[in-house]
Amino acid sequence: MAAPAMSHNDALTPYCPVFQSAVELIGRRWTGAIVRSMLCGSLRFSDILHNVPGLSDRLLSERLRELEAQGIVSRTVYPETPVRIEYALTEKGTELQEIVLALSGWASRWGREAKPSCETAAACPGDLA
């Protein structure tokens, strides 16, 4: 198991900036949870705020702006009365899904001392992993 069955490719990883950017982007405090909560479809500000406990409105708007700047989420304004604003994942954002799910799966399998009572199989569509 510890034996490296991989290739003897010694000349790997001369440091990768894009990977670094990506991992630090989704690693930001609430970003992962926000993206994860958006996997289902469009959401309004309050919805996201509501299903991520501990997240403040300031942080949410900050994260949302970052994600928008990265082209991961799109912001759509419906000029009704009052205005309704919906956030959705772009294609780039949607492709993060497999990563989020993979990470969810890993976290569930190895979470602390094997606590299978979080999302494991019920709460999240991690079944496809």
**Which among 42, 32, 51 has a CA at the least distance from the CA of 102?**
32
Asked whether the beta carbons of 111 and 41 are under 8 A apart, the reply is no
Task: Please report how close the Cβ of residue 5 comes to DNA at its closest, in angstroms.
Answer: 24
Within 48-67, the residues that bind its own copies by CB under 8 A are 51-53
- Of all helices (H) and strands (E), which one includes residue 31? helix 31-37
The one-letter amino acid at 35: V
Structure tokens at 125: 């569509």
Asked whether the beta carbons of 87 and 46 are under 8 A apart, the reply is no
Is there binding between residue 89 and DNA (CB under 7 A)?
A: no
**What x-and-dash track marks residues 97-126 binding DNA by CB under 7 A?**
------------------------------
Is there binding between residue 85 and DNA (CB under 7 A)?
A: yes
Is there binding between residue 99 and its own copies (CB under 8 A)?
A: yes
Residues within the interface to DNA (CB under 7 A): 28-30, 44-47, 54-59, 61-62, 64-65, 75, 82-85, 87
